[in-house]
Structure 1
Amino acid sequence: MAVDKPSQNVPGLIQPAMPQQIKLFRIYNHYRLVVSIMLLALLLIDPSSFETRFRLLDYYLTGAAGYLALNAFIALIILAGMQPSRRHIILSILLDILVIHWLLFTSTGITNGLANLVIISVAAGNILTPSRVGTFYAALAALCSLGISVWAMLVLNASVDDLVRAGSLGILYFAAAFSLQYISRRMMRSEALATSRARSLAELEQINQQIIQRMRTGILVLDRSGHIRLANAAAEELLFGAPFSTNRPQEPDRALPPALKQGFEAWMHDPGQRIEPFQPFPTSPLLQANFTQLDVSSQDHILVFVEDMGKVTQQAQQMKLASLGRLTAGIAHEIRNPLGAISHAAQLLEESPMLSQGDHRMLDIIRRHSRRVNGIIENVLDLSRRQVAQTDQIDLPNWLPEFVSDYQQTQEGERAAASVTLTFDTNLPPARFDKSQFEQVMINLCDNGLRYSHQQTGHYSVRIHAGTTADGERSYVDVRDEGPGIPDVHRSSIFEPFFTTDKSGTGLGLYLARELCESNQAHLSLLDDGQPGCCFRITFAHPGRLI
């Protein structure tokens, strides 16, 4: 079996040249081309006057013409796009040294001014390839110069001064080689260090950009006029509902939401002022913005941090529930005992045969309001006993049909024929919510929807729709009824505890529903879409992001 032998090429000889070396080699080749043109042009001006000054004029002419042709050919192939390798550069320098010494040999010898061109070639070689090869350039040039001098002394009886000049040139060759090698190595190390630091800075900048883009805190950079210069994905999601980069073209001049704009103008007049939490649109969570100067010296840009108040709200809810639990534990017994006594006394009184029709109406009022007070106590107790949400990933297309089926089966009387219509979009992201608490919220919203639809139309109906937010990463559920709607004057109060427009209601249903949503980092809002009835939307948190 044949075994391939490893390549015996000199290490580093066939390595591709670096971009800087390629650039310098192109400049050097232009210099070679100009020199070869001048050598040939000076000779062609008046060849007869040079015959006495050249030892071998024909050979000199041939060498100069060949040198010009070679340099022109190399210039053309470089212009065509050829990338010279390290081997090409080394061969070019060696060829220059040999050709110039050939011209020296065929002209007047080492005393000719062409010898100075050898120093330039040796220097260029040590700049282009600062390694041991550079020393070889100097050695080859020194040997060639000494060889020409010795030949001239032996054959042409030249002066010993030629040998001294050749030795001096050799010293210059090695001095140029060693000094330029040292300088080139220092420059290469500096360039490598600068390149490494630039690469590290670029990587660090990329990491910082990824961190900023993935932060759940919104970050904006504004100018002093309030125009947005930079915004990360969280800021676009919190302030505008969806990142511009993934769903629609980047707008050249995005305007701040009015509430944030007012806060920014107020902060510009008084930097010590803290703006109130705001909602940029009805379905967004409550946000808090903080401003600071990005550059204190120039004061041209303002850095804005936009935070979702969900975590703060959760902490406030825990404190509120702890206080509510202590309150309800203290008053539940004091209220329910007399309430039970009132209800029991009303039942006993109802059994009396001597009651008039007016008395029965009074007893009915007592029973109805006793049940209402008991319902309020039950709701408050449920709220105070509520456990910490154990969120799950809910697959809405599978969960909602089961909920609708179970909900319709639990309806009694006239509501047994209630119409609950369910629609949903395709490719819904999962909803992150505690399943039992989500069911409680949906039951509350559906009960309200059926009740108000019956008041307005005479039949029980509600529509449920599950869709995807504009950013395509979160889902929502709309519960819409056919009721009379909510007057504008009451829209800001519907989620307050004990507020109700129904005489038989407790005013805690929507309040409890919003509390449950906020404990699951979701948001319950009333949509104002211009359609009849009411539409409540539950916007779920991102399934993969936790606050």
Structure 2
Amino acid sequence: MASSATPASREQSPNAARHELYFLHGFRVAQALVYLALAFGLPGLDGPGLNRPVLAHALALGYLVFALAMLGATRRLLVRQRLITAAGLLADIAAAVLAASAMHDARIGIAMMLAVNLAAGALLLPLRLSCFFAAVATLGMLGHALFTPTDVAHELLESGLFGLAYFASVVLCHVLGRQLRASEALAEQRGVDLANLAQINELIIRRMKTGVLLVDDANRIHQMNEAAWLLLGSPAADRRDLGRLAPELSRRLYHWITSGKTDETPTQLADGMPEIVPRFTRLAPNDDALVLIFLGDTSMISRRAEELTLSSLGRLSASIAHEIRNPLAAIRYSAQLLAESTELSPADARMVEIINNHCVRLNEIIENILQLSRRERSRPETLDLGRWAHTFVEEYRQGNDLGNDSLRVIANSQVPVTAMADPQQLQQVVWNLVQNALRYGRMPGEPARVMVVVRHGERGLPTLEVIDRGPGIAPKVAAQIFEPFYTTHEYGTGLGLYLARQMAEANQATLEYVRVAGGGSCFRLILTPARVLPRTGAGEVPPPRPDARPA
């Protein structure tokens, strides 16, 4: 039976063991006092006859000293509670057998008190050991009966019945104790789970982007999370009166309590904070004392609406772009055939050139719109950015006539810069940046000078920069250049930089604009460092140094 008990039922908490051990030692003191009263007698009462007065007196005094010593040392004995309990039960059995021999008339009461000792010990000891002590106690009582001079058969019957009671009480108390310990362990585990759940709930509420306030019927704030604290203007800890802290919110709360209607117009609770729309609900259905207030940030709602709008617009634009692409291809093909005619006048040739140019521009717009709707997942690879940049510039020069403009790479060939990125998406991002730099990054009447710089940035992160020496971008314009459909050029779509940032973020990279001192613009792309460096013909590339700079 002991082997079938679960680990949780066999283990018991220190508090439970201490209580059971205190009970056993306390009962032992009471038992010793009973022996003392039986041995020396009580004033005004006739005690039982003593067969052996000297033994009874010595036993009562010695057992009382032993019981008091065990009770006083209970806290120190907890570390060896099984050993101490076993030794105490042996002493209890010996004392009970000796007391029954010295005070024969009180043997029944002494045997019954011993049953309590054995039952309390069964709460602390394994079942086999508890049954062993029950057997020892039974044998002790049977041995006492055998040496009784009168009515041996009757004494043996009584001792046998007491032995049966000992075994029954030991088994019963052990089973009950195991169930109680299992229930206690389950309750402790549930308590830990509830405490953890409460901490998780508190952390979630505290980190919620929606502000949450708990206000009582006296208009006093009991709790607020970080978002609500910021929306209220970061008040001091002692400022908890909602009427003084946010009069408009207090007014709306009173209006909701009295009328049941919510004012859904946005309002601002503190200077410099976004507008919010408050929502009210009672903490309990039938409790009017506490009210929960949710402060919804309208800027978050606006951003979500903007994302949904862009998504819908992207799908709509993609369908329109597909419909435009076929007739546009026919127009461009016809214009190319017409341009090959030898009978065109100069004026007609100029018109054909205009058609071709605008067909190219429309095709770029369609490609941007299709990229906006595709949003393909990135497939990152380990890239040597220096080599990649040289290859990119060579391909760009071959595919585009630069004229007097210049495009060059600045990279340290001695210290390679490696990064994780999708080569195709990186190609689109840098192509867009270089195209904008060659188109807008020039001073009036001067050729464009564009550099693609590859280096280790802050904390050794791989960095790729596209720098021009043009007039730069005004601060007000720079704050909006990455927004979709924002453009300052009459022929621009406003999607190029927006798509470039989206593809950069898909590669866990950041794209930002940095104004260059002395004139010019810098678009900085900070990529994810590669964990595994590529191998060259001479062996493995050495790790980058954070302080490395381009030559």
Output the CA distance in 1 between the equivalents of 2:143 and 2:211: 75
What SS is found at the alignment partner of 1:83?
Answer: helix
1:19 aligns with 2:9: no
Is contact 1:375-1:506 (8 Å) kept?
Answer: no
1:377 aligns with 2:357: no
Cα offset for 1:121?
Answer: 1.3
Any idea what the Cα deviations from partners look like across 1:494-528, whole Å, max 9, x if unmatched?
6444x54346766553355356557x476876558
Cα offset for 1:441?
Answer: 1.2
Match in the other structure for 1:416: 406
Output the CA distance in 2 between the equivalents of 1:541 and 1:419: 20
Output the CA distance in 2 between the equivalents of 1:320 and 1:292: 38
Any idea what the Cα deviations from partners look like across 1:257-311, whole Å, max 9, x if unmatched?
99xxxxxx9x999989899xxxxxxxxxxxxx99998977476486999999799
Match in the other structure for 1:439: 427
Match in the other structure for 2:497: 510
1:484 aligns with 2:460: no
Q: Counterparts of 1:292-311 in structure 2 under 5 Å?
A: 297=285, 300=292
1:460 aligns with 2:454: no
Output the CA distance in 1 between the equivalents of 2:227 and 2:156: 71
What is the letter of the counterpart of residue 436 of structure 1?
Answer: Q
Is contact 1:403-1:439 (8 Å) kept?
Answer: no
1:105 aligns with 2:116: no
Q: Counterparts of 1:143-292 in structure 2 under 5 Å?
A: 143-145=139-141, 147-149=143-145, 151-154=147-150, 171=161, 174-175=164-165, 177-178=167-168, 181-182=171-172, 184-186=174-176, 188-189=178-179, 191-192=181-182, 195=185, 223-224=212-213, 255=230
1:389 aligns with 2:376: yes
1:121 aligns with 2:106: no
Cα offset for 1:492?
Answer: 3.7
Cα offset for 1:128?
Answer: 3.5
Is contact 1:146-1:163 (8 Å) kept?
Answer: no
What SS is found at the alignment partner of 1:454?
Answer: coil
1:401 pairs, out of 386, 389, 399, with 386
Q: Counterparts of 1:349-360 in structure 2 under 5 Å?
A: 349-350=345-346
Q: 1:178 to 1:112 in 2, by over 3 A?
A: closer
Is contact 1:464-1:478 (8 Å) kept?
Answer: yes
What is the letter of the counterpart of residue 181 of structure 1?
Answer: V
What SS is found at the alignment partner of 2:390?
Answer: helix
Is contact 2:456-2:463 (8 Å) kept?
Answer: yes
What is the letter of the counterpart of residue 439 of structure 1?
Answer: Q
Q: 1:382 to 1:17 in 2, by over 3 A?
A: closer
Q: Judge which range, 293-302 or 137-146, deviates more.
A: 293-302
Q: 1:64 to 1:413 in 2, by over 3 A?
A: farther
Is contact 2:433-2:466 (8 Å) kept?
Answer: yes
What is the letter of the counterpart of residue 385 of structure 2?
Answer: L
Match in the other structure for 1:30: 25
Output the CA distance in 2 between the equivalents of 1:114 and 1:151: 17
Aligned length: 464
Match in the other structure for 2:55: 59
What is the letter of the counterpart of residue 178 of structure 2?
Answer: M
Q: Which runs of 5+ in 2 are unaligned?
A: 216-220, 234-248, 267-276, 531-551
Output the CA distance in 1 between the equivalents of 2:209 and 2:324: 44
Output the CA distance in 1 between the equivalents of 2:146 and 2:423: 101
Root-mean-square deviation over aligned CA pairs: 6.4
Match in the other structure for 1:327: 323
What is the letter of the counterpart of residue 486 of structure 1?
Answer: A
Q: Counterparts of 1:86-97 in structure 2 under 5 Å?
A: 86=82, 88-97=84-93
Identity percentage of aligned residues: 17
What is the letter of the counterpart of residue 27 of structure 1?
Answer: Y
Match in the other structure for 1:4: none
Output the CA distance in 2 between the equivalents of 1:402 and 1:65: 98
Is contact 1:451-1:460 (8 Å) kept?
Answer: no
Q: 1:331 to 1:188 in 2, by over 3 A?
A: same
Output the CA distance in 2 between the equivalents of 1:139 and 1:294: 65
Cα offset for 1:405?
Answer: 1.7
Q: 1:476 to 1:44 in 2, by over 3 A?
A: farther
Output the CA distance in 2 between the equivalents of 1:51 and 1:193: 45
Output the CA distance in 2 between the equivalents of 1:429 and 1:402: 12
What is the letter of the counterpart of residue 90 of structure 2?
Answer: L
Output the CA distance in 1 between the equivalents of 2:263 and 2:163: 72
What is the letter of the counterpart of residue 327 of structure 1?
Answer: E
